[in-house]
Chains A and B, each alone.
Chain A
Amino acid sequence: MNRTKPETPDSETTDETLLRTDDVTKKFGQLTAINDVSMSIPEGEITSIIGPNGAGKTTLFNLFTGKYEPTSGQIRFRDERIDGMAPHDIVDKGVVRSFQITNFFDDLTTRENVRLATQAQYSGFGASDFLRHYTSLDGAVDDAEAVLERVHLLDVADRQASNLSYGQRRHLEIGIALAAGPDLLLMDEPTAGMSPEETLDTVELIEEIASDTTLVLIEHDMDIVMDISEFIVVMNEGELIARGDPAEIRTDDRVQRAYLGGE
């Protein structure tokens, strides 16, 4: 495998690197889910992580966001180690994820789902956080409105989240992540299960978000990946097998064999 490594990680670490992994390995008992992955996510771009099922893409997200701790290796965000940090501390640093399976507060309204997320930046354990009414936390309320507008959910803001349509639920999922104030937003299959129309809508949203946020996508739809990514990382069986811009990936032999060729 070694010979296929395009560059050493160091050569690629530039001022624009936002997140970087060095020789990260994650094992679950006997199973090696991520094997010695070194990669870097450039700031201000859309990076896609692709690869067949079981390639370790979601595990990688779980490592970035602190759900799992790497068995070995390091993860750095803005040159600060974040592996081993608690998930909420990593969010504070600016790394936020959205989930593949819609994962929010079904019984709350759309607005309250988003507001709860924006609130994290305004409240803590001060006296006023216990004694004031939650709707009087103006910053959180205003931010929530802005996010709702951005993900086009203002119309249904008062609807209970479980009553939203599938496409709206997926947008809310992204909205909650946005509300947490990410510098780096990790999106796990944002278009999965969507109709062509919904997909188009979501792609538009992604590109809009990318105007001020660094994005990493896990995405299966190759057309979308090739269309919107500036940088692509290809995983297979827990290993990084290639990376480059869409044109390079399209023509990469190993990628063809491991992934694209099979389809």
Chain B
Amino acid sequence: MREIVAMFDPRRTSVGDSQILTSRGRLAVFGLIVLLGVLGPVVAIVEPYWLYILVQVLVFALLALSLDFVFGYAGLLSFGHAAMFGAGGYSAALLITEVTPNALVVLPVAMLTGVAVAAVIGWFSVRSRGIYFAMLTLAFAQMFYVAAFADLPATLLGVESITGGDNGIYGIALYELIGIDLSDRINYYFLTLLLVALSLAFLVRLANSPFGRVLQGIRENEERVAFIGYDVRRYKVVGFAISGGFAGLAGGLYVPFQSLAHPQFLHWTVSGELVVMLLLGGMGTLWGPMLGAASVIILEEMLGGIAAWEVILGGIFVVVVIFAPRGLAGVLISLKEDPRNALTNAKNAIENYVRKVRGKS
């Protein structure tokens, strides 16, 4: 009985001081990236529409990765990552339409915008903990949403339009990058893949750095971290800002590709969906949420034609929370560690569920 409970303990993904991604894990991730690199050109020929889906998968994988770094890894329950995503997107949209479509200028600015927005939100929010932190981040993100929706910047500056209000900014050109034609979708796909791979490498490195270990300590036991001499709030704000940078980058990649920056990108439902991706993928592992993002995007795409797709999506979600709280990553890890008992484990989980429902736990 205890083992079953322990097996489904969400924190078990972080057993020991095992670092994020061991060498075999790295190899698997590297292989997957190479596979995606090969897959792109094939998809572009066979079914070009799916290349569009793949770019979307990559962008949301990056966004989920950025969120997991604070949410799963550092224990900062952000429900406001849409703010950094949207802010990065809007700044890219404005730069491209007003200044330059040069990716080497715009993408770093989108990233910095994400950092700046996250630093502000983080600085105000880290004084609260747990669900209050979640609600604060949500509140700030919704303020950004309302500000974009009502085009508050234009009102304040007395000009006609900045964010484009509820229409958003549309007709955004694709990036220019030293001689590479990014309007060719396959090139945009490669650019996105490259940036996602670099981001993952960087964040994994960060997770295994002295800084990352302190963040993990904060997730495990915030009070004690302070009492061994760390400035907890400062670590949280810095971690949050770094995460925001990658969310901003995701926004900067998404907006020109969609040719649209819309207030909906800032809406809390985006943050909510992100949290869904995290949970489905297995939070705190960095790679799990990226799988989660891919699953959600592809599921939505495949179920989109079916009328009741929301019911199915919600249903899958409920089942995952109840039976596999460590998400896809958890399932994969337990399959790898203990492949022979997979069926027994599943059976135990169901028996355990029935027992609890009957109130005899």
A: which residues have CB within 8 A of B?
65, 86-89, 91-92, 96-97, 99, 103-109, 111-112, 116-117, 119-123, 125, 129-134, 137, 140, 160, 176-177, 179-181
**A66, chain B: closest CB distance, angstroms:** 9
A-B contact pairs, 28 of them (CB 8 A): A65-B227, A87-B226, A87-B227, A89-B231, A105-B220, A106-B220, A106-B221, A107-B12, A108-B17, A109-B16, A116-B213, A116-B214, A116-B217, A117-B228, A117-B229, A119-B210, A119-B213, A119-B214, A125-B238, A129-B210, A129-B211, A131-B209, A133-B209, A134-B212, A134-B213, A137-B210, A160-B15, A179-B228
B221–A132 touching, CB < 8 Å: no
Contact between A91 and B211 (Cβ–Cβ < 8 Å)?
no
Residues of B within 8 A of A137 (CB): 210
Q: Contacts A88-B232, A105-B221, A123-B211: A160 and B227 contacting too (C-beta < 8 A)?
A: no
B208 at the interface (CB under 8 A from A): yes
Chain B residues within an 8 Å CB radius of A117: 228-229
The number of inter-chain residue pairs (CB within 8 angstroms) is: 102
Q: Is B210's CB under 8 angstroms from A176's CB?
A: no
Interface residue range, chain B: 20 to 34
> Within the assembled complex, what's the spacing in Å between the Cα atoms of A92 and B231?
10
Chain B residue nearest to A105 in the complex (CB): B220
B11 with A107: CB separation less than 8 A: yes
Q: In the complex, A145 Cα to B206 Cα: how many Å?
A: 24
What chain B residues lie within 8 Å of A121 (beta carbons)?
Answer: 229
Do B17 and A120 have beta carbons less than 8 Å apart?
no
Q: B205: CB under 8 A from chain A?
A: yes
> Does B259 touch A at the CB level, under 8 Å?
no
Residue interface mask B220-253, A partner, CB < 8 A = 1: 1101111111111010001000000000000000
Give A122 to B211 CA distance when docked, in angstroms.
11
A92 CA to B226 CA, complexed, in Å:
11
A130–B213 Cα distance when bound, in Å, is 10
The distance from the CB of B211 to the nearest CB of chain A, in whole angstroms, is 5
Point out the residues of chain B lying under 8 angstroms from A176, CB to CB. 224, 228
Q: Which 9 residue pairs across A and B have the least CB separation, nearest first?
A: A112-B17, A91-B229, A120-B229, A123-B210, A117-B228, A105-B220, A180-B228, A87-B226, A134-B213
Contact residues in A for B205 (Cβ distance below 8 Å): 131, 133
Task: Answer yes or no: B128 CB below 8 A from chain A CBs.
Answer: no
A117 to B228, CA, bound (A): 6
| Complexed CA–CA distance, A179 and B230 (Å) | 13
Q: How far is the CB of A110 from chain B (nearest CB, A)?
A: 10
Q: Are A103 and B209 in contact (CB under 8 A)?
A: no
Query: Is B212 in contact with A91, judged by CB distance below 8 angstroms?
Result: no
